[in-house]
Amino acid sequence: MSAEVKKEIQLEIAHVLFMDIVGYSKLSINDQNRAVEELNQLVRASEQFQLAEAAGRLLKIATGDGMALVFYTSPEAPAQCAFEISRALKEHPPLQMRMGIHSGPVSGVVDVNNRPNLAGAGLNIAQRVMDCGDAGHILLSKHVAEDLEEYEQWRPLLHDLGTCEVKHRVSVAIVNLYADEVGNPQLPKRFLALKKHRSHVRWAEAAIGLLVLAAIVAAFIFLLRKPTRAVVNIAEKSIAVLPFENLSEDKANAYFAEGIQDEILTRLSKIADLKVISRTSTQHYKSAPENLPEIARQLGVAHILEGSVQKSGDAVRVNVQLIKAANDSHLWADTFDRKLTDIFSVESEVAKAIADQLRAHITGQEEQILAAKPTDNPEAYDAYLRGLAYTLKTTTSPTNALAAQKYLREAVRLDPKFALSWALLSYVDASGYIIQSLEPTVALREETRQAAETALTLQPNLGEAVLAEGYYHYACLKDYDTAVRYFEQARPLLPNSSRIPESLAYLTRRRGQWDQSESYFNEAERLDPRNVNLLNEHAGSYILLRRFPEALRKVDQVLDITPDDLDTLTVKAAIAQAEGDLPRAAALLAPLHPNADDSYALETQVYQEILERRPAQITPRLKEILAKPDPALGPINSELRFWLGWAQEVADDHAAAQASWSQARSELESFLKEQRDNYFLIGYLALTNMGSGDKAAALALSERAMAALPIEKDAVTGPIPVEILARVAAQMGEPDRAIAALQKLLSIPYAGAFPAGPLTPALLRLDPMFDPLRNDPRFQKLAESAAPKAGDK
């Protein structure tokens, strides 16, 4: 099989526009041929078709009486294309079309002629959606409508129709897309027949009079024609589990209450018939708040579970109560007194009782999952809960990562068959590896692999184990195709997990699939609407794309939940720096007092004073921190030492700067012996050599960093070494290389080497490191250009 064919047969989320010619079978063969040819011409004239085709992000599948257009760009593309085709059809009245749109998995198949073709739920459901319409209709699945709702221009055009029964008696939620002269505002015949049937039943049963019936029908039509966003649709089988109160005399047992809450939530989340909000969205609430209806509205659920845990020695008491949020009424409550060795039965009983109360259907496999006992060793379980508590903290600092790692290692030492703990250990390792909250050594990567494989070997159908294996391939190997396969395999095992679409959002982002990544972020946020880490990462994506107003909106969402979050306030200041608004950035940074392990906030403050060219105020703080460096921070101490040297250099204290850079260089070289391919260390070592005036070493290290992390492998951080090269070349008298690198960087989205994110014209104007280029007309043009368009829609 050719490499080209192999490349095609990957599983990806695609945005599918399915269309066919209404009345095609009644046409003569000649008329059929003419109609298909006319349709092809109209479609090819569509701007969206041409843009996607030119970018190599479109596949077309002929279906005889129509076609499927498979976009790999954004959720908007098929809708915009449908609008363009619908407008064009006004000039071709004999050609009657209907269209359906859905976003979903599409995978490649190889046909009998050894040619790549497509199949999958994305295509199938798009066709079923289309089948529900008549001539002129542009119908969307509810999933697509929810994606489009994120864009203000689409909201007034979305009209909820309810559900339509399609092939195999499957019900699909449908939304009608139309504007004044585009689409078809009429109710499709399938829905009209349903409405007539219901009206007839009401007439037969009530026979109250035509006036009442007309009022009912009018109200029904009014509701149908309301845009999707206006319809409040909270599923009855939906629940959020609020933090359990720790009633133990020993307040150090808080980790145990957190763990019991999380384990009950996890079991509930594995019931596909329930909608369960992730813990990360509920952890900011109190254990027993007074405003339950408002909390339920914020989380989009009908029910709330409250609870408390009291632990004394090996005795445990768990109190739980299930509340219907709309009227604050108690549906069910119970108290469980157990020995520590029997705590798993409580978690299973509570989950089963809640499912029964909400009348959720539980499959045989889900029954087994609810009853599963992860370990027979209470000491191992206690260590697992302690490690879990550190993973649930909002900050992913080295301190939290190391503590989680310590307890999870202890759990699997006590019980080597504890698959759930192996899976969580692998996830902690992989996360620390990719964001470098743990030192990304070969040993860490090997432990990540071993832990994931052990979990999967012990329990092949454990969703957390499958997810961990996928995260290992994503974070440690950058083997994105394999990671996607594992993530999709985990979906049915973890039906309410926001971590799967969240992981896919990160993965597609690193592939440079920005619109697809945003779609996954939106999906994850529907499952986990108040997860501050998720919202911050989504804001981070907008920053990479230099879409700063949208980033600020996400940041403000986070601050509504956690008003004093240090990193989020810092992000807001960093955006101001990127936009060149130093007074606004200074006002945001002034109240912040970061510690050494708050390196992002600390470095943003240093960068602010460097941009303002008055770094004398921050220098004493850096010296104080580095006088007693925290060993747990590893190379972050060396990174801070580089910043100290730069601040001293800008303050004209050249001797002190050279001393700081010399020490930073020595430390970085030591770390690099164990992490030879760590682009982060290589990049900072290049910058310290630049500061020390070693041009050859600085340029060689810049090139080594680029080789260690090619842009083609990682669209997010791959360009960072290119920025390092631009800075080194600017300082070392290589203006041509610096300008070429800057031109490239300003044309693409990426993470940025320094806290303010990707380079912008404003940062070029302000950053002292680019002073040697100030008189170069090419640099002046870059620095005065408009905001980059990379990633603009």
Three-state DSSP class for 358? coil
The predicted structure's pLDDT at residue 591: 93
331: which 2 tokens?
């549906």
Percentage of the chain modeled with pLDDT above 90:
48
The predicted structure's pLDDT at residue 170: 62
With bands split at pLDDT 50, 70 and 90, how would you rate the model's confidence at 204?
very low
Res 386 pLDDT > 80: yes
Q: How far apart are CA 300 and CA 202, in angstroms?
A: 31
pLDDT in tens, 460-507: 999 999 999 999 999 999 999 999 999 999 999 998 889 999 999 999
DSSP 232: -
Q: How far apart are CA 793 and CA 786, in angstroms?
A: 16
Greatest Cα pair distance in the chain: 96
Q: How far apart are CA 418 and CA 383, in angstroms?
A: 11
Residue entry with tokens 């396969």: 485
Average pLDDT score over residue span 548-566: 92
Res 114 pLDDT > 60: no
CB count within 10 Å of CB 563 equals: 9
506: which 2 tokens?
């990160």
284: which 2 tokens?
């900011």
Q: How far apart are CA 667 and CA 664, in angstroms?
A: 5
CATH of 3-186, one of 3.30.70.1230, 3.40.50.300, 3.20.10.10, 3.40.50.1370: 3.30.70.1230
pLDDT in tens, 619-643: 898 999 999 888 878 888 999 999 9
Torsion angles phi and psi, residue 314, rounded to 5: -100, 10
The predicted structure's pLDDT at residue 233: 63
The predicted structure's pLDDT at residue 334: 86
pLDDT in tens, 682-712: 999 999 999 999 999 999 999 999 999 899 9
Kindly report which listed range (156-170, 397-411, 521-535) carries the lowest average pLDDT score: 156-170
The predicted structure's pLDDT at residue 468: 96
Q: How far apart are CA 67 and CA 119, in angstroms?
A: 14
Average pLDDT score over residue span 198-225: 40
With bands split at pLDDT 50, 70 and 90, how would you rate the model's confidence at 216?
very low
**Domain boundaries of the chain, sorted by first residue:** 3-186
pLDDT in tens, 254-298: 888 888 888 888 889 899 899 998 888 887 787 667 678 888 888
Estimate the crossing angle of helix 463-475 against helix 419-435, to 10 degrees.
20
Res 1 pLDDT > 60: no
Average pLDDT score over residue span 122-135: 88
614: which 2 tokens?
């008055």
Please tell me the total number of residues recorded for the chain in this structure.
793
The predicted structure's pLDDT at residue 790: 46
Percentage of the chain modeled with pLDDT above 70:
89
Q: Locate all alpha helices (DSSP H) within 436-531, ordered by sequence.
A: 442-458, 463-475, 480-490, 499-510, 514-527
With bands split at pLDDT 50, 70 and 90, how would you rate the model's confidence at 421?
very high
Q: Please list the residues that pair with 324 across neighbouring strands.
A: 303, 329
Average pLDDT score over residue span 193-221: 42
Res 214 pLDDT > 70: no
pLDDT in tens, 718-749: 999 999 999 999 999 999 999 999 999 999 99
The predicted structure's pLDDT at residue 199: 42
The predicted structure's pLDDT at residue 196: 46
Res 355 pLDDT > 70: yes
Three-state DSSP class for 598? coil
Cα angle, residue 420 at apex, residues 275 and 282 outer, rounded to 5°: 35
Q: How far apart are CA 523 and CA 75, in angstroms?
A: 12
Mean predicted lDDT score pLDDT of the chain: 86
Q: How many CA atoms lie within 13 A of 242 on its CB side?
A: 27
Q: How far apart are CA 105 and CA 15, in angstroms?
A: 9
Q: How far apart are CA 714 and CA 691, in angstroms?
A: 28
Q: What is the pTM of this model?
A: 0.66
Res 671 pLDDT > 70: yes
- Number of H helices and E strands in the chain, helices first, is 35, 14
Residue 219 burial class via C-beta count within 10 angstroms: exposed 0-12, middle 13-18, buried 19 and up: exposed
47: which 2 tokens?
């701007």
Res 13 pLDDT > 90: no
CB count within 10 Å of CB 286 equals: 12
Task: Write the DSSP assignment of 103-150 as a string of letters.
Answer: EEEEEEEE-TTS-EEEESHHHHHHHHHHHT--TT-EEEEHHHHHHHTT
The residue type of 623 is K
The predicted structure's pLDDT at residue 337: 87
- E strands of 296-435, at which residues? 303-312, 315-324, 329-339
**Selection from 532, 597, 623 nearest residue 569 by Cα:** 532
Three-state DSSP class for 242? coil
pLDDT in tens, 62-107: 887 889 999 988 888 999 999 999 999 888 878 899 999 998 777 7
With bands split at pLDDT 50, 70 and 90, how would you rate the model's confidence at 215?
very low
How far lies 721's CA from each of 174, 198, 474, 717, in Å?
47, 65, 20, 8
Torsion angle in degrees (nearest 10) through CA of 183, 189, 195, 196 = 140
The predicted structure's pLDDT at residue 2: 33
Q: Locate all alpha helices (DSSP H) within 228-342, ordered by sequence.
A: 254-269, 279-282, 292-299
The predicted structure's pLDDT at residue 109: 53
